[in-house]
A and B are shown apart, each in its own frame.
Chain A
Amino acid sequence: GAVVSQHPSRVICKSGTSVKIECRSLDFQATTMFWYRQFPKQSLMLMATSNEGSKATYEQGVEKDKFLINHASLTLSTLTVTSAHPEDSSFYICSATRDRGNSPLHFGNGTRLTVT
């Protein structure tokens, strides 16, 4: 089946630094990837839609200059949390779909970000 790999699984950084999270589709080309954020005991909140070769589409309330998304190839999207603050601490999850149709989304294993 489809596999989405996310790296790193955990990261601890100091306030003010930037952190990059990678999302790779391992056995298929993903024209579209999605980045979600999840707070403890809550559901997944869509942050942005990442389209290969074009600018990401951000959901309302998500700062595009804070959460930089780059989808440079059909198998890789990156999320960079810039100038991280403790309130950015969360579980970030990427997902990818094989095509633009009705294929299910497959999720990575998530990245636990802790900003100290």
Chain B
Amino acid sequence: GQQLNQSPQSMFIQEGEDVSMNCTSSSIFNTWLWYKQEPGEGPVLLIALYKAGELTSNGRLTAQFGITRKDSFLNISASIPSDVGIYFCAGREWQGAQKLVFGQGTRLTINP
């Protein structure tokens, strides 16, 4: 089935640094979603993107829906310790397809 290529797989940064991660697909997606998962819990929705070129912010988080509709990125500015976790991109391939395809995840570790 369709796979999303998410990178990097892991990041080790200092508190206060900015973070950037991205996802690419081989086919066109009509929705991109970014989730964060902490140990032992389900993913929590961070940002939802619905239109090519759309740029959306949620506090220190910013995500964009690529104009080719085959990629998306998530940026976190001025990282803090509570940003630690695994970030997943997810997408829907076509209108009405409710199931999501997930990326492999980016594990973020922050050194205080």
Contact B96 A43 (CB under 8 A): no
Spot the interface stretch: A11-19, A62-70, A96-104. Answer: A96-104
CB B25 to nearest CB in A, in angstroms, measures 14
CB B57 to nearest CB in A, in angstroms, measures 16
Q: Which residues of A contact B103 (CB under 8 A)?
A: 43
A49 to B42, CA, bound (A): 17
B43: which of A44, A60, A100, A101 is its contact (CB, 8 Å)? A44
Contact B41 A109 (CB under 8 A): yes
Contact B98 A49 (CB under 8 A): yes
* Tally of contact residues, A, Cβ under 8 A: 27
Q: Which residues of A contact B99 (CB under 8 A)?
A: 34, 46, 49
Cβ of B104 under 8 Å from chain A:
yes
Contact A102 B50 (CB under 8 A): yes
Contact A104 B45 (CB under 8 A): yes
Q: Can you name 8 extra interface pairs (CB under 8 A) apart from A49-B98, A110-B42?
A: A34-B98, A41-B107, A43-B104, A46-B100, A49-B99, A91-B40, A104-B33, A105-B98
